[in-house]
Amino acid sequence: MRTVLVVDAANVVGARPDGWWKDRAGAARRLHEALLTAPVPHDVVVLVLEGGAKAGVRPGRDAHVRVVHAARDGDTEIAKQAREAAEAGREVTVVTADRALAANVAGVARVSGPSWLWDVLEETT
């Protein structure tokens, strides 16, 4: 079974007060680059970007990371991506600390917090 990790980029980036709000596009680009080399235990990573972060990474696939630009809000797109992957028979994990989003995807995905992902990302540094 293929595994899919759906990343709430805004929530993950927002979990660290490192000045991301001054450069949302740059923060998205750094997260994308980190995901490309991180030892993430999933076959596919779906990075969902919204708002100003979309300027940092073009939509599409790079290696095992697929970038999706949310048409409206990120939560709706994250839930959509999780449901589509689950319907395709994938095991899905969503990374978010957003309680409403976590409740929304509870029937189709496991939920992990941003600190779990940051720990994984730091393994490569």
Q: Of all residues in the chain, what percent carry a pLDDT higher than 70?
A: 98
| Dist. CA 83–CA 77, nearest whole Å | 10
pLDDT at 19: 83
pLDDT digits 0-9 by tens, 5-31: 999 999 999 988 888 888 999 999 999
pLDDT digits 0-9 by tens, 69-99: 999 899 999 999 999 999 999 999 999 999 9
Averaged confidence pLDDT in the chain: 94
Task: For 45-82, give the DSSP string.
Answer: EEEEE-GGGGGTS-SEEETTEEEEE-SS-HHHHHHHHH
pLDDT at 93: 98
pLDDT at residue 125 is higher than 70: no
pLDDT band of residue 1 (cuts 50, 70, 90) is low
pLDDT at 97: 93
| Dist. CA 29–CA 32, nearest whole Å | 5
Average pLDDT over residues 30-52: 95
